[in-house]
Amino acid sequence: MTPRLWAACALAVLVVAVVVAAAVTVPWHRPPAPRADQVDALRDFPAEQVARSRAFHAELRPATYGALVLGLVAALVLGLTPLGARLVDLVGRPFGGHWAAQAVLGGLAVVFLLEVLTLPFAAWRHTIAVRYGISTQSWGPWTLDLLKGYAVGAVLGGVVLFGFFAVVRLAPRWWWAFGAAGAAALVVLLSFVLPVVVEPIFNRFTPMADGPLRTELLALAARDGVPVRDVLVADASRRTRAVNAYVSGFGPTRRIVVYDTMLTEATPAEVVSVTAHELGHAKDQDVLTGTLLGALGAATAVVALFLLGGWSPLLRWAGVGGIGEPRAIALLLAVSTVAGLVAGPGQAFLTRRIEARADAHALALTDDPATFESMQRRLGTVNLADPDPPTWEYVMSASHPSTVERMAAARAYARGER
């Protein structure tokens, strides 16, 4: 068989693998959260709090969706016209047009251009967050975090770009197979490495002081059968007033992380409740589930790009000879951007199911629905979440059940509904 036929067969197998993996690992049954309970929960919020949260999100939407639209349009213009290829040529010219310079520097230049175009929208969002009291950062620290993000992205992006185009040069007919395997392996590697290596770049972590809360959190993890190495406090207050906690790492690196803002805003029982939710993710191997689906998805994307590269009109629009050459980086980015937007609602749906299961785990582990409900109310209030967001926005992008859904789930659990 020809490489294209082999690739088509591999794509079919990978698509089936993604579907089967999702069917087996994603919890399709979610805890009951009756709409009547949701409506009652919404009534429990002070009207001024709901109005303020909704005003906050109404002000954020133009900046959020403006950046989305501009980023999409810019990616399509660069990718579906010769402009992207010319930019890669221009950046690589001082290095004699060497493929590595085009791949790494040209690719980063394309990405950086898109980041710069949408930067005003990010600044707009920051001003809104500051005005509503969510962000505690002045422009200096905000810019520093932005530059740190660019630096991390440049390092990771440079490695990926060099590796991808090196494989294309070494195996021009079969790069899709090696690229798919490499993409899957990279997703797995980053799932293990990023929490340990990247998190300290943006936050400082200190061990939680010995005391009743630390003891209770460690006992909760032990009772749940999820061994953790330590309980850490993140200095989130230098960036935000939002509250959160999470479980990070695997095996010997696993730790419970609590925002310092949560220690000042929430009661100890509420900290225990939200930690129980995060332990649910570890107990049910949700990170591994996400890693598996991400790895299969990355491999599928590489094979699909190879097959898409056989469509000559697409290459002609981009002004490139093949999708595996560095000059086609903008085209690859444009296709990836469109694919990400199309897949977004489906990904959000899956993550909501997983988050709902973690909620059910927290309720069962603590057997304290009242505290769980009060914690969700506090999370929604402090973080200025819309407790019952518009349906279209919820379907498109919500990664968690809404605040009123989670409160309704607690009320259903209290009645014995599972």
Q: Give the pLDDT band (50/70/90) at residue 328.
A: very high
Decide if 352 contacts 22 (C-beta within 8 A): no
Least confident piece of the model among 192-196, 345-349, 411-415? 192-196
The strand pairing partners of 258, in sequence order, are 233, 245
At residue 194, the pLDDT reads 77
> Which spans in 107-138 are helix H?
107-131
In tens, the pLDDT along 111-156 reads: 999 999 999 999 999 999 999 999 999 999 999 999 999 999 999 9
Kind and range of the H or E run holding 163:
helix 139-170
SS3 254: coil
Arithmetic mean of pLDDT, 78-88: 96
What is the rounded distance in angstroms from the CA atom of residue 232 to the CA atom of residue 254?
11
**Per DSSP, which regions of 156-286 are E strands?**
205-207, 230-234, 245-248, 255-259
CA distances from 23 to 18, 232, 347, 350 (A): 8, 35, 13, 10
pTM of the predicted model as reported, rounded to 2 decimal places: 0.92
Whether 339 shows a pLDDT value over 90: the answer reads yes
At residue 3, the pLDDT reads 86
At residue 408, the pLDDT reads 97
Question: Which amino acid appears at position 109 of this protein?
Answer: A
Arithmetic mean of pLDDT, 313-320: 93
Whether 344 shows a pLDDT value over 90: the answer reads yes
Whether 252 shows a pLDDT value over 80: the answer reads no
What is the maximum alpha-carbon separation in the chain? 72
Specify binding-site residues for Zn(2+): 277, 281, 355
Alpha carbon distance, N-terminus to C-terminus of the chain? 52
Decide if 161 contacts 107 (C-beta within 8 A): yes
At residue 32, the pLDDT reads 93
At residue 123, the pLDDT reads 97
Arithmetic mean of pLDDT, 152-175: 93
What is the rounded distance in angstroms from the CA atom of residue 216 to the CA atom of residue 315?
60
Decide if 253 contacts 282 (C-beta within 8 A): no
At residue 29, the pLDDT reads 85
What is the rounded distance in angstroms from the CA atom of residue 236 to the CA atom of residue 343?
31
At residue 309, the pLDDT reads 87
Q: Which residues contact 217 (CB under 8 A, 6 or more apart)?
A: 208, 231, 256, 258, 271, 272, 275
**Per DSSP, which regions of 187-318 are E strands?**
205-207, 230-234, 245-248, 255-259
User: How many angstroms from the chain centroid is the CA of residue 56?
Assistant: 22
Three-state SS annotation for 191-221:
HHHHHHHCHHHHCCEEECCCCHHHHHHHHHH
Arithmetic mean of pLDDT, 252-263: 90
Percentage of the chain exceeding pLDDT 90:
87
In tens, the pLDDT along 13-65 reads: 999 999 999 999 999 888 899 999 999 999 999 999 999 999 999 999 999 99
What is the rounded distance in angstroms from the CA atom of residue 233 to the CA atom of residue 262?
10
Kind and range of the H or E run holding 11:
helix 3-25
> Please, what is the Cα angle at 52 between 48 and 56, to 5 degrees?
170
At residue 112, the pLDDT reads 95
Instruction: Tell me the two tokens of residue 407.
Output: 């409160």
Q: Where in the sequence numbering do the catalytic residues fall? A: 278, 359
Mean pLDDT of the chain: 94
At residue 197, the pLDDT reads 80
> Please, what is the Cα angle at 384 between 378 and 386, to 5 degrees?
100
The strand pairing partners of 233, in sequence order, are 206, 258
Arithmetic mean of pLDDT, 256-276: 95
At residue 278, the pLDDT reads 94
Kindly give the pairing relationship between strand 230-234 and strand 205-207: antiparallel
In tens, the pLDDT along 171-227 reads: 999 999 999 999 999 999 888 777 778 888 888 999 999 999 999 999 999 999 998
At residue 200, the pLDDT reads 86
